[in-house]
Structure formats: C-alpha cells, structure tokens
C-alpha cells in the first residue's frame, strides 16, 4: 500500500526521481481529479504523485477539483499528503527563493467546492481545524530540511486568496494586518478537505516573488519561474531526505 502522496503545484508536474512509475486515471464521486495518479518509488518508498494544475498546467487555482483530488488519494490508500505550492512572500524575510513550512491558514477564497459534508448527511459534521496542518508531518519536513542543510522558515501564516489574478498592494497590506506571512491561491480548501478525510496533510511552500507592493515594481512572470525552479530543486532535496527517513 502506498502511504504517502505529493501534490505538485506550479512548476512541479512530475517527480524526476520517481522510479518504476505508472499512471492511472481515477474516477471519483466528485468528478475527475486534476490528472492521473502516478505511482512509483523514491528512495525505496512507494509514493503517489498528483499534479494539482494538471500535467500541462491548464487548471487555474479556482477551478482545481480539490474534492476529487483528495478523495482519489484517500481512495488509493494514502494517509499522508505533502502539498508543494508556490507563494508570494509578505514577511520581508520570506522573499523569492525562501522555503516555508506554514503552520496556520487564513482563508479568503470563495465559491469553491469546499466540503465533503454537504448532502446525504446522517448528521451535521464539523471538523476541528485549530491547527490546520498535521504536526507530525510538519516536523518531518522541518527535520528533513535540517538534514539537507537547507534553511527554511518553520512557521508562517498562509493567506489563501482566490486568484487567478495576483493581489493588489492594498490587499497585501490587509493580509499583513491580518497576520499573513505568505500568500497563495491553492492552500484552501485543500487543507480542510484533507482534514475532513482524516489525512495527515502539510505544505511546503516556495516563495516565487515578493507579494504585490512589497518588491520594486510589478511582479514579473519570468522572475517567478526562475525563483520557482531554484526553490523547487531545494524542495526536491528535502523530500528525498524525508522519504529516506521514513524507511
Ligand atoms: N499571490 C498569490 N499566489 C501566489 C503568489 C502571489 O504573490 N505568488 C505565487 N503564488
């Protein structure tokens, strides 16, 4: 059985280090997931990979079928999910290239299919979401980064925005006032759906840019790509260490 899954965000559409991989399409009660699930081994551990935005990056953050993605992984027998995601840095020390393991979330998204507890309920169900990420998995990510001698921010509040546009400078000022340290578009409802399904879920984020109004001038898409590529190489090293430590 495969215990662990990695959901790849912008810039991460497959795992180069995966061996003996095969892909299969899964159907779910919520419609199709973003892509086929690719299963294989990394460092001797069985891993499932799913590209959140599709293999060719065609699904924008507000159109990702988060329910189908998480349901498909759970159905596959996965218990642990690592989300790899791109963010903008709001805190001054979280500029481009920084790697962050967030510990809190503020949700600003709207109109997304955000719960599995919607109909055919035997009773109304509320999940505890005080700590939105799985603390054991967060620790494992933080330890793996230390093993790989890669500096990361071990705590941060993730502000989840609707996208697909980037924010205005005033919106970032508001997020900062609210206590957000980083901003991204895919953190919710992914994290709460994972909790509804009883999955151990944590995120490792790469800062691709200074958030709107925090750098000099407009946010350049080419620069985002460059910083993402560099950050994702480091995230990959951290994931290798984490998988090695699980053996
Ligand atoms: N805002 C929201 N999402 C993002 C950003 C940003 O600045 N950068 C990468 N993903």
Task: Give the pTM.
Answer: 0.97
Query: Measured in angstroms, how far is the CA atom of residue 152 from the centroid of ligand 1?
Result: 18
> Which three-class secondary structure state does DSSP give residue 160?
strand
The answer to whether 34 touches 69, Cβ cutoff 8 Å, is: yes
C-alpha 55/C-alpha 44 separation (Å) is 24
Classify residue 66 as left (phi > 0), alpha (psi -120 to 50) or beta.
Answer: alpha
- What's the average pLDDT block by block, 10 residues per block, for the chain (247 residues)? 89 92 95 97 94 95 98 97 98 97 98 91 89 98 98 98 98 98 98 98 98 94 95 97 93
C-alpha 190/C-alpha 129 separation (Å) is 13
CB of 87 closer than 6 A to ligand 1? yes
Task: Tell me the two tokens of residue 141.
Answer: 């990510």
Handedness of CA 110, 133, 97, 231 (dihedral sign): negative
CB of 37 closer than 6 A to ligand 1? no
Average pLDDT, the chain: 96
The H-or-E segment that residue 107 falls in is strand 104-107
Task: Tell me the two tokens of residue 87.
Answer: 């963010």
- Residue indicated by tokens 């995601």: 85
Strand partners, 8: 51
CB of 208 closer than 6 A to ligand 1? yes
> Which three-class secondary structure state does DSSP give residue 16?
coil
Residues 6 or more apart whose CB falls under 8 angstroms from that of 45 comprise 4, 243, 246, 247
- pLDDT tens digits along 39-71: 999 989 999 999 999 999 999 999 999 999 999
């Amino acid at each position: 059985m495969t215990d662990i899954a990695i959901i790849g965000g912008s810039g991460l559409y497959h795992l180069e280090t995966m061996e003996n991989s095969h892909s299969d399409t899964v159907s779910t009660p919520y419609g199709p997931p973003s892509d086929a699930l690719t299963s294989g081994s990394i460092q001797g551990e069985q891993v499932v990979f799913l590209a959140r935005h599709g293999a060719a990056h065609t699904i924008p953050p507000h159109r990702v079928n988060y329910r189908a993605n998480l349901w498909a992984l759970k159905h596959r027998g996965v218990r642990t999910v690592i989300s790899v995601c791109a963010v903008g840095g709001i805190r001054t020390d979280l500029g481009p290239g920084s790697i962050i393991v967030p510990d809190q979330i503020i949700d600003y998204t709207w109109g997304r299919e955000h719960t599995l507890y919607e109909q055919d309920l035997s009773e109304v169900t509320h999940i505890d979401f005080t700590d939105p990420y799985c603390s054991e998995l967060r620790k494992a990510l933080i330890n793996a980064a230390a093993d790989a001698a890669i500096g990361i921010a071990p705590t941060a509040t993730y502000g989840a925005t609707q996208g697909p546009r980037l924010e205005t400078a005033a919106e970032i000022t508001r997020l900062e006032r609210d206590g957000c340290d980083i901003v991204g578009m895919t953190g919710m409802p992914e994290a709460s759906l994972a909790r509804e399904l009883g999955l151990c879920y944590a995120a490792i984020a790469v800062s691709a840019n200074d958030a709107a109004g925090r750098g000099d001038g407009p946010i350049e898409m080419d620069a985002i790509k460059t910083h993402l590529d560099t950050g994702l190489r480091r995230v990959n090293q951290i994931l290798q260490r984490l998988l090695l430590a699980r053996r």
